[in-house]
Structure 1
């Protein structure tokens, strides 16, 4: 009996020491600090282990580096664009987007994101259509195929992708395949053996030397990027697995958004892939012209304006969140948001409240069913809070909504991998494409309102009718939302 009490006392002592460390030494966000202290107090011993597994600080680490010659080449093009913006000489193909020049400038200087206007954009909202085009583009590859996904299942769709990559590698095409160690945990040596034997290269992001234990489990590469021959790019919400074709009975139809890009914006997708690939594999990918089209973009060339913006826990700024806040703040007519997880921090909530109070038509669409219970109930709490300010909330009823899109005033849009939650803002490695193009934004706007037809409008009256059990779940999930 004495030994039991001694063990409990030691656990509490460890928790107290760790709580003091978190509060006074780690420079965490106050909400995250309070959430961790709550976990430590409620789960003595277990909370200590969870902290060791789930909480690391990458903010002082430079995980991704670029070779000197690559920095010089990209730097010259960036400097030219920065000078063009500073001297008000940047020409906008779509005049509706001159108002967003300050966002373009922010991303040029803070995230080194090119702004190019020669891009063609194709939108996919259905998994079968997306993968049909995706596989077709891979089949047509002549030189290189670079694939990065967060989740790749070892099921029919996953096997089809790997078999196709193996075939292209046998044809002499350079194939690099990168997946997240957590999201791709169902893959094994046997499933990748054929691709490797064919000459393809495989990388695993944040892999662990210790089986079944990964001390970086909380930090996931959530990006989905594909670049083919340096000319065709894919980015968006779809992962690789049968469920993304609507074949999982639990979720039913899978509603997501992905874009195919042809144009100079693919340069930035390629650069992002190489940075992640270099971190995972340590392969020396010095700048080679064969992977990048010439950076001779003409400002007056017709097409969609695009910037590729990425962020992660290794960076000082929460770049994607800053872009979301800036886009919302720039709205004059409407804000349309689709996200499976909606548990933002106070800065995003305040931007949405101010927009709604200013007369902007703010609309948010979330799933009607959970795939992660705590995040689901946190989503309902934050959505419910915005109902007080006149924000329109819709729950998608035709399956599972996984799209991560923002459309502002029907003139500018964002499509990518980042959700509206603290995990995407702080913990995950994410990427989005900001598309400064009225035609594309209007298409995405139509997609949103088509989805409204198969959604339920969550009114303030309906929300207040929820039971005690749901209110309790929401309250607990809200407290834990900085850790989810």
Structure 2
């Protein structure tokens, strides 16, 4: 066979593969129209490279049943959900805070679409920096009696990383069940030997979607971005703080690290535990279940909380839908803090409508970015909102990593999800939705305190920006769905 015949056969094979992929994208995976056209262009203009990119970034995980759970456990949980849905439909629920009654349709939406139980026996404590959060967490870990479950996107082998590890080793040696789940993409600089002392002490460690083949991971685009800690099934932590010295403000590049993290004590912790169980069983193939991980107890507070999780394994973008519904319900104010602001059209439209309706919309992002391309894309989206009266604030004290939305000082959400397309579509995320004037009011006060360290991005500044900045914004905006 001649070289020309071999080359022709290879070209036919590539064409056939592209046709199969195109059929998959259009008819089988039923993607959104914009995503469909994007992949068709990639396959058309980059026939070989496009195939590799599709394998790495184009999988539709929502067509795959990832999570495994015993049938009786799933049936029991669904019966609890249905029981609460029935209570809502029959208006048989009473609320500790009247703000919860105002947002009953939001609670019901999260319950129906995300199977998120509404609980209102919770105590909620807010942390705004890493040092305070880790001081409280490690103190809590030292008192653990039965189990410790940790899940972090980023783990560094540095001061706080080793301090946390030493604590976990001590608890494992005491007989406490310790499980640590981490994301290998977020923690790509972490050597596998880091966890050896914990494993030798009897602890368990698992990586979420690890590379089965060195340097090749077909799920590299899907990250577990959750930061969750659960102690004895009674206390939980959720928010934006990972494990690393930078989160304590010790990285000279960023300086002070401003974040938002929550300590929960109450029945909402059971929802965190359920999500951890699902993630752990998927990542480790070492399933754990049992009543000991879901102890019966009465929480010490009166705060209404729902834990809402979303990920690329689901058709609906539950956290994003929660954001949109909250914004639509706003009467007075919509205050957003996020390190990355790359909304899709539905979220951007919700913010536009709120601003046009006279609602006070404030969006705070860091003045100094950690990812420059994301920052320029964020500036592009913010620029669209400035003519509508939206106030855009650039945080200058250090790096702002908080992920918080507060509506009218009555309802709020804090968690791991940024206001960007990656968090909505590609990452595994979890947020706490909080229905309580006191907690929401405190988050609003924190926002006001942060404003003292911000400068405002004005419409005049945006319109007079250099041409190079305009080009950067346009290019990064085109790439924003995959940033």
**Same fold, TM exceeding 0.5?**
yes
Partner residue in 2 for 1:378? 377
Partner residue in 2 for 1:293? 295
Deviation at 1:74, TM superposition (A): 2.8
For the structure 1 residues 5 and 460, does the alpha-carbon distance in structure 2 shift closer, same or farther, using more than 3 Å as the test?
farther
Please, which of 105, 111, 119 is the counterpart of residue 108 of structure 1?
A: 111
Partner residue in 2 for 1:414? 413
In structure 1, what is the Cα distance between the partners aligned to 2:405 and 2:45? 37
Give 3-state SS (helix, strand or coil) of 1:388's partner: helix
Note if 1:96 corresponds to 2:95.
no
Note if 1:191 corresponds to 2:194.
yes
Note if 1:121 corresponds to 2:120.
no
CA contact (8 A) 2:123 2:301 kept: no
Note if 1:347 corresponds to 2:346.
yes
CA contact (8 A) 1:264 1:293 kept: no
Deviation at 1:483, TM superposition (A): 1.6
In structure 2, what is the Cα distance between the partners aligned to 1:38 and 1:337? 35
In structure 2, what is the Cα distance between the partners aligned to 1:374 and 1:15? 30
CA contact (8 A) 2:266 2:298 kept: no
| Aligned pairs, number | 480
CA contact (8 A) 2:267 2:298 kept: no
Note if 1:273 corresponds to 2:276.
yes
Partner residue in 2 for 1:316? 315
Deviation at 1:21, TM superposition (A): 5.7
Partner residue in 1 for 2:164? 161
Partner residue in 1 for 2:443? 444
Partner residue in 2 for 1:472? 471
Give 3-state SS (helix, strand or coil) of 1:274's partner: helix
Q: Deviations over 1:18-43 (max 9, x none)?
A: 56764565422233334445556776
Q: Deviations over 1:93-134 (max 9, x none)?
A: 101221110111112222111111110111011111111111
CA contact (8 A) 1:119 1:263 kept: yes
In structure 1, what is the Cα distance between the partners aligned to 2:401 and 2:26? 35
CA contact (8 A) 1:274 1:285 kept: yes
CA contact (8 A) 1:35 1:482 kept: no
Runs of at least 5 residues in structure 1 that lack an aligned partner in the other structure: none
Give 3-state SS (helix, strand or coil) of 1:261's partner: strand
CA contact (8 A) 2:85 2:112 kept: yes
CA contact (8 A) 1:32 1:482 kept: no
Q: Deviations over 1:344-391 (max 9, x none)?
A: 111001100111111110111111122222211111100111112111
Deviation at 1:8, TM superposition (A): 11
Deviation at 1:15, TM superposition (A): 6.9
Range with bigger deviation, 172-181 or 79-88: 79-88
Partner residue in 1 for 2:458? 459
Range with bigger deviation, 208-217 or 220-229: 208-217
Runs of at least 5 residues in structure 2 that lack an aligned partner in the other structure: 1-5
Deviation at 1:212, TM superposition (A): 1.5
RMSD: 2.5
Partner residue in 1 for 2:3? none
TM (norm. structure 1) is 0.93
In structure 2, what is the Cα distance between the partners aligned to 1:466 and 1:17? 45
Give 3-state SS (helix, strand or coil) of 2:116's partner: coil
Q: Deviations over 1:330-352 (max 9, x none)?
A: 10000010111111111001100
TM (norm. structure 2) is 0.93
In structure 1, what is the Cα distance between the partners aligned to 2:78 and 2:21? 43
